[in-house]
Amino acid sequence: MHLPSEHIQSSDRLLIKGGRIVNDDQSFHADIYMEDGLIKQIGDNLIVPGGVKTIEAQGKMVIPGGIDIHTHFQMPYRGTTTVDDFAQGSKAALAGGTTMIVDHVIPEPGSSLVEAFDQWRQWADEKACCDYSLHVDVTHWNDSVKQELDSLIKDKGVNSFQVYMAYKDYYQMSNSELYEVFTFLAERGGIAQVHAENGEIIAEEQARMLQMGITGPEGHVLSRPEELEAEAVFRAITIASQTNCPLYVTRVMSKSAADIISQARKKGNVVFGEPITASLGTDGTHYWSKNWAKAASFVTSPPLSPDPTTPDYLNTLLSSGDLSVTGSAHCTFSVSQKAIGKDDFTQIPEGVNGVEERMALIWDKAVTTGKMDENMFVAVTSTNAAKILNLYPRKGRIAVGSDADLVIWDTDSIRTITAKTHNSAAEYNVFEGMELRGAPLVVICQGKIVLEDGNLHVTSGVGRFIPCSPFPDFAYKRVKARKQLAVLRAVPRGMYDGPVSEFSMSRGGTPSASARTSPTKQPVRNLHQSGFSLAGNPAPCGDLTASHSIVVSVGTRPKMYSIQCFTLGI
Amino acid sequence: MSGSCYQGKNSIPHLTSEKLLIKGGRVVNDDQSLYADVYIEDGLIKQVGENLVVPGGVRVIEANGRMVIPGGIDVNTCLMKPYLGTYPVDDFLQGTKAALAGGTTMIIDHVTPQPGDSLLDAFEHWQEAADKRACCDYSLHVDIPQWNEAVKDELELLVQEKGINSFQVYMAYKDVYQMSDSELYEAFSFLKQLGAVVLVHAENGDLIAQEQRKILGMGITGPEGHPLSRPEELEAEAVFRAITLGNRVNCPVYITKVMSKSAADTITQAKRKGSVVFGEPITASLATDGSNYWSKNWAKAAAYVTSPPLSPDPTTPDHLHTLLACGDLQVVGSAHCTYSTSQKAIGKDDFTLIPEGINGVEERMGFVWDKAVAMGKMDENQFVAVTSTNAAKIFNLYPRKGRIAVGSDADVVIWDPDSIKTITAKLQQSASEYNIFEGLECRGGPVLVLSQGHVVYEEGKLQVQQGTGRFIPCKPFPDYAYQRIKFRNQVRGNQGVSRGMYDGPVYDVTPTPKYITPAPSAKTSPTSHQPPPVRNLHQSNFSLSGAQIDDNVPRRSGHRIVAPPGGRSNITSLG
């Protein structure tokens, strides 16, 4: 490629000496030798070729590069685009120790999923500075979408699809559609991701807030209380459990939603929860800020909870394993873009930053507070994501043969977050002024040093698309086992051959009759079933009238007669 | 009242039953038990106490230290619910007879209009039928089969003039009764304003429809398909959603037919969080389980079909009794709705067509006693609360009903905690061929039942008159449900933040090709950004309410919202 020659020299072969390798399962001291973007050797006293660049880790942690499983770079929104494109966004990611991102493809409802996917691929291939994968959001549902999903899973390397329970009349799906999507994905080995909020109630609440004259950003959180998030999570889990489909809840923002996931996991449901940087690091009290632009910069859905104990609680559940992965949902709009909704909070573009702060924030809030150990830190920032995406152990682990995406982590450095120095193009940072302990010292991406001595040197366009294959074991092993167990059987019993009351399926044209008829139940059925339904019936069939489609009555007064003549027990 | 005495051969002449004295009983209310005599005249309790001074010629009933409790109130019966043109075999006469034989002196029946029917007509139809046939007092719930504007007027009329304060909505029965979340939200909001209690049939109908299709597709057509297609998770999910809606609207929610542990647990948790929610387990969920759906006998299996279905988990009844005893569930109904086997057989080839309903009005009090009180889970006062008093409170009938006190209706039961009987269809009052509790032994039962001051059941014999049951109107805003709601209403005012108007640049969302490359322009700081001129025109119309700087500007009558002077859109209210 068109890299400066010094880069090729220095970064093709690398040796990290004297570091402590931290994976999700164990930590140990060893050197790491990398070549051609892969980890080639791990151990002490490695025999390496001459002229290798050596990095002295001096006992510091060497961890697998972070995977931010949820970003929205370069996302189109009503004719505008988020201010962080794939170059800017992935640069911010690398600056924070994240060496892979997974972006959401959001097709317009009604448009082709594959075309949208190709579009996103093009954007990302042009600009991304680190490896990436893609989730595809399913914004409408019909048979052609099924075919597209098939091709995305089989040919395009996508294994995770997001559906929406919110955004009424736009992205939102009904329960029946969700059921069908989940059923479909369960067969194909996809992961069903849900944006869990009850869109119908939100629509009602939004109308109510606007009617009350509340138009500012506080209306956003008032109209989307956390109960509605919890309700949708509960419903999604129910549907997933019915369809035996692994479920992934994107953006766990509140204690109650997290609790529902916790409880479901304790009942055995295969469900993963993804808190994001913002919900782990800040809260929704800022929606009431007197500064409109600041308040608006926090607008995201589900909203940040106004309960200030939320971040602490979510960090605890992340540490205990009840929540599995962390994303950032990085989706940044400028103030002037947010101002589209200056007179109506429902028009404010939704999105917060967080791709750069994600790893440091979790270190600061969870590890330094003693909630989480360093191995769990690696699990929730990288390994679990790789497992869900079926990229493990290529990503998410420091092992021979894995991609050379790794980070030397400095546990003691302290930084203050501010929009002035962050790598995002947004004017606001929702973590403004926060002091975070822990930061990447050296970041290696695809075997090349991209961050060293505080200097970031990234190359736009080097990021590769990493295809994800279906049926990740992490989610599907249990699902497969359950599928074998969950075979339903009918009870073998003799046919009921007693009298049947007269009834009419088309009474008064009320919808009840037709709706209660199941698809298999058409009047036709009577003909081929009459062979056995009347077996042993002593009454003559003479008064079966043609006009009564399903009537199988004995005598003219079936109700009275049946009680007397009927023998119980068949 | 006209009409001949039923089984009236050795009944006492009518006059004597007008004045009654129950001597030597232990009066048990929901709050306390005490030894006292009860004097009854003209259908009302006139005196409660010791050594009462009563007129001569009064019939004296010796209670011999047995419990004297308020007659039971069965909050959920369907004695006239049509199904594809057929009606339950227990009508108001048969059903209320069964109720009285079990110690229940009042029922609340569901008026079940079909979608498109007038609620008012249906109500009058039910009332007429009940007035003719019922042998005990009754009230009515009205089910709302669909939500639209016309319904609203009828609801208002029913609440304000007809004595209805409770309405049932359905989250199941897709494309028939089922309401969407938006409709539920609107219905809850509306009913709350009327002060009515929202009853919810909580099951996720969308998913049930999917599951039914799947199960039928697998060739499962028998009654076992019913619980398989309606797993208890779907009940719990709907309960959770109903409670969420109730919380948002700040409206009391009453879950009818709590059939499973998970649904009950969801209610429990919601109560812990402060939700105003009531749960109604029924006789069937308290006394039996869903294992019988797998019976080899089709007719028997079909007899258990009701929705939500009985849980196949055999520990369910015990769990529900525990929650009933600790107050997490409040009232017990029966959902008594019996169809004959030949009626059930409408669904002999397709479980989705089996008419739904089970018996339980007669067995209700007995089983709560047997499984909760006799097991030491519940005390006798709580027994009275869950079988009678709480129902009276929720539906605003207290203390006329649900209490033994001076001035209350003389619906009184002398209860024998030791009597043992075996439930069987042969001895039941109900007209159905099956009793889903067949063969179960039940300890505790009524010795004597007074309804409206008349002895209607004594020594195992019923002496009832059809048509004596009166419609008891229920007033809106029952304190038991609405007192908390009222306070919360006062506390819950949301207020906007009063902040200066944002007056920086605004991105133009009109999809013009000019603005397709947003990144550079968006990155410019707000102050230096020059807003496109087009934008001002369409934004000046709605944007500026609440800007203090405009307060001195006279308001134009055509615009509700103050327009800025000179048509400029950037008002520097911050500076």
- pLDDT for A210: 94
Tokens 């050797």 sit at which residue?
A: A41
Task: Return the higher-pLDDT residue of B314 and A550.
Answer: B314
Q: Measure the CA–CA gap between B239 and B258, rounded to whole angstroms.
A: 9
Query: Which of A77, A80, A84 to mutate to test binding with chain B, by most B CBs within 10 Å of its CB?
Result: A80
User: Sheet of A160-164: strands edge to edge?
Assistant: A66-71, A98-105, A131-137, A160-164, A191-195, A247-252, A271-275
Contacts of A346 in chain B (CB under 8 A): none
- pLDDT for B244: 96
Q: How many Cβ atoms are within 10 Å of A507's Cβ, its own excluded?
A: 13
Considering CB atoms only, which of B181, B296, B522 is closest to A83? B522
- pLDDT for A457: 93
Q: Is B501 on the interface with A (CB under 8 A)?
A: yes
pLDDT band at A494; cut points 50, 70, 90? confident
Q: Nearest 5°: phi and psi at A255?
A: -60, -45
Q: Measure the CA–CA gap between B346 and B349, rounded to whole angstroms.
A: 8
Tell me which residues of chain A, numbers 188 to 207, contact chain B at a CB-CB cutoff of 8 Å. Answer: 198, 200-201, 203-205
For A538-549, what is each residue's pLDDT tens digit?
Answer: 333 333 333 333
Range B70-401+462-487 classified under CATH 3.90.870.10? no
Chain B residue with minimal CA distance to A78? B509
- pLDDT for A498: 86
Q: Is B570 on the interface with A (CB under 8 A)?
A: no
Contacts of B212 in chain A (CB under 8 A): 518
Tell me which residues of chain A, numbers 106 to 135, contact chain B at a CB-CB cutoff of 8 Å. Answer: none
Q: Is A525 on the interface with B (CB under 8 A)?
A: yes
Element holding B201 (H helix, E strand):
strand B197-201
Q: How many CA atoms lie within 13 A of B403 on its CB side?
A: 17
- pLDDT for A493: 87
- Residue A14 clears pLDDT 60, i.e. is over it: yes
Contacts of B544 in chain A (CB under 8 A): 343
Alpha-helical (H) ranges within A24-112 are: 86-95
- Is the CB of B206 less than 8 angstroms away from the CB of A179? yes
pLDDT band at A502; cut points 50, 70, 90? confident
Cβ-based neighbours of A295, under 8 Å, separated by 6 or more:
A216, A217, A218, A286, A287, A288, A289, B497, B499
- Residue A62 clears pLDDT 90, i.e. is over it: yes
Tell me which residues of chain A, numbers 45 to 84, contact chain B at a CB-CB cutoff of 8 Å. Answer: 78-81, 83
Q: What is the bridge-based pairing of β-strands B19-28 and B67-70?
A: parallel
Q: What does A446-499 look like in DSSP terms, one character per residue?
A: TTEEEEETTEE---TT-PPB----SS-HHHHHHHHHHHHH--------PPP-S-
Q: What does B278-309 look like in DSSP terms, one character per residue?
A: EEEEBHHHHH--GGGGG-S-HHHHHHT--SSP
- Is the CB of A231 less than 8 angstroms away from the CB of B240? yes
The mean pLDDT of A358-363, rounded to a whole number, is 97
Is ipTM over 0.85?
no
Q: What is the residue-level pLDDT of chain B in tens, covering all 575 positions?
A: 443 444 433 444 444 447 999 999 999 999 999 999 999 999 999 999 999 998 888 999 999 999 999 999 999 999 999 999 899 999 999 999 999 999 999 999 999 999 999 999 999 999 999 999 999 999 999 999 999 999 999 999 999 999 999 999 999 999 999 999 999 999 999 999 999 999 999 999 999 999 999 999 999 999 999 999 999 999 999 999 999 999 999 999 999 999 999 999 999 999 999 999 999 999 999 999 999 999 999 999 999 999 999 999 999 999 999 999 999 999 999 999 999 999 999 999 999 999 999 999 999 999 999 999 999 999 999 999 999 999 999 999 999 999 999 999 999 999 999 999 999 999 999 999 999 999 999 999 999 999 999 999 998 899 999 999 999 999 999 999 999 999 998 887 777 888 888 888 888 775 434 333 333 333 333 333 333 434 444 444 443 344 334 334 444 333 333 333 444 444 333 43
For A267-299, what is each residue's pLDDT tens digit?
Answer: 999 999 999 999 999 999 999 999 999 999 999
Angle made by CA atoms A169, A175, A178, in degrees to the nearest 5:
90
What kind of fold does domain A62-485 have according to CATH?
TIM Barrel (3.20.20)
Q: Which residue type sits at B439?
A: G
Q: How many Cβ atoms are within 10 Å of B470's Cβ, its own excluded?
A: 18
- pLDDT for B562: 37
Smallest CA–CA separation between B91 and chain A, in Å? 14
- Is the CB of B544 less than 8 angstroms away from the CB of A343? yes
- pLDDT for B533: 39
Q: Is A500 on the interface with B (CB under 8 A)?
A: yes
Q: Is A563 on the interface with B (CB under 8 A)?
A: yes
pLDDT band at A506; cut points 50, 70, 90? low
Considering CB atoms only, which of B348, B497, B522 is closest to A216? B497
- Residue A525 clears pLDDT 70, i.e. is over it: no
**For residue B55, how far is the Cα from the chain centroid?**
42
Min mean pLDDT across A212-226, A356-370, B511-525 is at B511-525
Check if the beta carbon of residue B469 is closer than 8 Å to that of residue B92: yes
Q: Give the global pTM.
A: 0.83
User: Considering only CA atoms, which of A406, A404, A386 is closest in space to residue A396?
Assistant: A386
Domain extent listing, chain B:
70-401+462-487
- Residue A535 clears pLDDT 60, i.e. is over it: no
- pLDDT for A564: 34
Smallest CA–CA separation between A455 and chain B, in Å? 23
Chain B residue with minimal CA distance to A517? B353
Query: Which of A233, A340, A491, A561 to mutate to test binding with chain B, by most B CBs within 10 Å of its CB?
Result: A491
Q: Is B26 on the interface with A (CB under 8 A)?
A: no
Q: What is the bridge-based pairing of β-strands A271-275 and A247-252?
A: parallel
Burial A9-20 (b: 16+ CB within 10 A, else e): ebbebbbbbbbb
- Is the CB of A490 less than 8 angstroms away from the CB of B345? no
The mean pLDDT of A24-30, rounded to a whole number, is 96
The mean pLDDT of A129-142, rounded to a whole number, is 96
Smallest CA–CA separation between A469 and chain B, in Å? 28
**CA distance readout (Å), A552 to A503, A524, A556, B187, B347:** 9, 14, 11, 40, 12
- Residue A513 clears pLDDT 60, i.e. is over it: no
Considering CB atoms only, which of B497, B500, B526 is closest to A336? B526
Contacts of A225 in chain B (CB under 8 A): 248
- Residue A263 clears pLDDT 60, i.e. is over it: yes
Q: Is A227 on the interface with B (CB under 8 A)?
A: yes
Q: Is B296 on the interface with A (CB under 8 A)?
A: yes
- pLDDT for B499: 86
Contacts of B216 in chain A (CB under 8 A): 518-520
- pLDDT for B498: 85
Q: Measure the CA–CA gap between A99 and A90, rounded to whole angstroms.
A: 8
User: Considering only CA atoms, which of B155, B143, B161 is closest in space to residue B189?
Assistant: B155
Query: Which of B146, B244, B508 to mutate to test binding with chain A, by most A CBs within 10 Å of its CB?
Result: B244
Element holding B256 (H helix, E strand):
strand B253-258
Q: Is B174 on the interface with A (CB under 8 A)?
A: yes
